[in-house]
Structure 1
Amino acid sequence: MIYFDNSSTTKPYSEVLDSFRKVSEEYFGNPSSLHGLGAQSEKLLSQAREQMARLLDVQINEIYFTSGGTESNNIAIKGTALMHKGRGRHLITTEIEHPSVRESMEQLKELGFRITYVPVDQNGIVKLSEIEKAICDDTILVSVMHVNNEIGSIQPIQEIGQLLKQYSKILFHVDFVQGIGKVPLDLRASHVDLCTISGHKFHGLKGTGVLYIRNGVKISSLISGGGQEWKLRSGTENVAGMVAMAKALRLTLQKQNECLNNMLKIKDFLRRELEMIEGVTIHTPAFQSAPHILNFSIQGFKAEVFVHALEEKGIFASTTSACSSKRQKASNTLLAMGIPEEEAMSAIRISLSYQNTLNEAEQFIAAVNEAVGRLRKVMK
């Protein structure tokens, strides 16, 4: 099996599964309980929080555990809007955000908030001037993803943060889900107020995530109950999952130092070889893009047909974002870049992890060439 769908989800490290199993079996107490087993669980949760803070280079009390990227995005956006609606009801985002951001914005629109969707250029990158142009007197939040989940374009987060530093009442939210472990981001230097990460994107477990909230930033809670996570996100904590996520991030950042150059070589090889195939168009920009994502179209083929053709060879890739791939609609991201709908409908995304090899890339290219030739014969 060749797994090239790591932007959808990654395979958990064996060490991560071992940690989850050990904590689940031996330290299963509720962290809120007063007895010793509960105290042990609370200690492990605190240690996981401390490790996540150290790895992200932030303060311990700025780490809020969640169930993943979607929940973190919802809390960041809706929590900001509800807390600060008295000082403004205008939010800014881009046309190529993850569905959890876009749908949160659309829900707020129904509640009377105004949303500005800033356009991107042909490379899927937002211009700083477009952000600045959209700012109004009642703007309270700007939300921009760090790395686009479909084409891998990297947004100028530090420059946007510098711009927003001039506006004291505007908070800056960054969806860091695709970038973490592949493209470094200094949250302090970028003046980020809220930041989202998801454990299953870096070989942790599904259902684990973090929302970073800079000290001094106040947002409303969306989940009421027992007051866990400093009263922001109530509910019994997933101790084993959070311990496993902290270990996964530590291992991934270690592999980033060791294996990033190899990942870049694999991506460069794939790009060169794909460009040589007749009818292939690469959508991922050659510069200012993440090392693990490559998006392309093959003229004349629907994406789902080609994805299934690859699967027959034991190769797993995807069409658009995993959150919208079953809808069989053209990618919003590609359409926002000005790509024609027919071409966007044929887009395929391959996404790497540090576990992938050049040999797998060579097999992938051979399978693409074979599938293109076979399907073109059928179509004649």
Structure 2
Amino acid sequence: MIYLDYQATTPLAPEAREAMLRWLDGRAANPHSPHRAGREAAAAVEVARDRVAAPFGGGQLIFTGGATEAANTAIKGVMAESKRRRLVTLATEHACVLDTAEALRAEGCDVVILPVGCDGLVDLDAAADAIDDTCALVSVMQVNNEIGVIQPIEALGVMARKVGAKLHLDAAQGYGKLPIPAGVADFVSISAHKIYGPIGIGALWMADGVTLPGLLHGGGQEAGIRSGTISPALAAGFGAAAALAFPRIETDRAHVAALAELLREGLADWTLNGAESPRWPGNLNIRRVGVDAARLISELRGLAFSAGSACASGSGRPSHVLKAIGLTDAEARSSIRLGFGRYTTEDEIIQAVALIRDGAARQMEWAA
């Protein structure tokens, strides 16, 4: 199986697996227990916390069950405590942000969903109008999970700071791939399994001086914000993946850029969805008239790829991201997302191109 669905999840790095194995050998070690085994587990969790938080250079980091929980914690927490009622976000955000925004709208919050252009980038003029002195929080994705475009988060951060609003950055697809922008965000949500770590753990970073109310009540773990027992194995795997990712940023980017060039050359008759630049090169979302993406995915059983977000797969609805950039339903349904990364080889890309071309050609023949 050739795996080209890196936006959905990445393969577990051998280094992360090795770090986890020590805590998967049957030993009982609750990191919140006072005995020796508990203290050893707690130490492992804190080493992992330091590793995940290191690129931020300060602030506080709490572990969560994933980026979805982290985003919910930040957005709901800010809106619960602020006297301001406006939440500003983008039409192309992940469901964990958009669905949270709609839930808050039902509770009386003033939710503004900013449009994007055909390139997938936010309309900064519309953002400037929306981010006013009634705004409590701006929530924006660093790298879009479906089309890979990189939003101008520095510009949005300046707008938020100017009016005293907070900024939440969904960095699930950016952390470990791009440098962390200094002084821009108040909250950053991240996920281990997008950076070659384990599924089931994420984190929320908070800037110095920022506080949130408790979302999960219980034993008071994770600064009293997120009670519950932290898994030493998951934390250790996350920490190892983070420690590996940042020194490799340029190496990994150069590798995926070369693979992206191979794909674009091999599938030159497909149209790119979203901006050429700025974008993360390991995400190629493309379309071809007459192709049924769902059918192509089903037929190419030796190739794992997708038509969009894994969270929305099976809904039967066209991608909200592709609709937001102006694609018709037919164009959205003829679009595929190819995600690749550190462990993808050139030979796999060459084979994938051949499979996709053959599968699309068969569809065209049958349609004729």
TM-score tier, shorter chain, comes to over 0.9
Moved more, 201-210 or 11-20: 11-20
Aligned residues of 1:303 and 1:347 also touching (Cα < 8 A): yes
Moved more, 3-12 or 244-253: 244-253
Name the CA distance, whole Å, in 2 between partners of 1:127 and 1:284: 14
Name the CA distance, whole Å, in 1 between partners of 2:262 and 2:35: 57
Report what 2:80 is aligned to: 82
Name the CA distance, whole Å, in 2 between partners of 1:173 and 1:27: 38
Name the CA distance, whole Å, in 1 between partners of 2:317 and 2:32: 45
Is the counterpart of residue 111 in structure 1 residue 99 in structure 2?
A: no
Report what 2:3 is aligned to: 3
Moved more, 118-127 or 245-254: 245-254
Aligned residues of 1:20 and 1:240 also touching (Cα < 8 A): yes
Give the SS at the match of 2:23.
helix
TM-score, length of structure 2 as denominator length: 0.96
Report what 2:308 is aligned to: 320
| TM-aligned CA deviation for residue 220 of structure 1 | 1.8
TM-score, length of structure 1 as denominator length: 0.93
Is the counterpart of residue 179 in structure 1 residue 174 in structure 2?
A: yes
After superposition, where does 1:1-380 map in structure 2 within 5 Å? 1-25=1-25, 28-54=28-54, 56-59=55-58, 62-84=60-82, 87-168=83-164, 170-186=165-181, 188-189=182-183, 191-275=184-268, 277=269, 280-311=270-301, 314-380=302-368
Aligned residues of 2:143 and 2:171 also touching (Cα < 8 A): yes
Aligned residues of 1:284 and 1:294 also touching (Cα < 8 A): no
User: Residue 44 of structure 1 aligns to which amino acid in structure 2?
Assistant: A
**Percent identity of equivalent pairs:** 32
| TM-aligned CA deviation for residue 18 of structure 1 | 2.1
Structure 2: runs of 5+ lacking an equivalent: none
Aligned residues of 2:86 and 2:111 also touching (Cα < 8 A): yes
Aligned residues of 1:293 and 1:351 also touching (Cα < 8 A): yes
Give the SS at the match of 2:205.
strand
| TM-aligned CA deviation for residue 27 of structure 1 | 5.8
Q: Provide the aligned length of Structure 1 versus Structure 2.
A: 368
| TM-aligned CA deviation for residue 307 of structure 1 | 1.0
Name the CA distance, whole Å, in 1 between partners of 2:53 and 2:179: 15
Moved more, 368-377 or 321-330: 368-377
| TM-aligned CA deviation for residue 26 of structure 1 | 6.8
Give the SS at the match of 1:166.
helix
Name the CA distance, whole Å, in 2 between partners of 1:112 and 1:165: 24
Aligned residues of 1:67 and 1:208 also touching (Cα < 8 A): yes
Name the CA distance, whole Å, in 2 between partners of 1:151 and 1:19: 32
| TM-aligned CA deviation for residue 254 of structure 1 | 3.3
Name the CA distance, whole Å, in 2 between partners of 1:3 and 1:256: 21
User: Residue 185 of structure 1 aligns to which amino acid in structure 2?
Assistant: I
Displaced runs of 4 or more, over 3 A? none
Name the CA distance, whole Å, in 1 between partners of 2:121 and 2:361: 34
Give the SS at the match of 2:169.
strand
Structure 1: runs of 5+ lacking an equivalent: none
Name the CA distance, whole Å, in 1 between partners of 2:108 and 2:173: 31
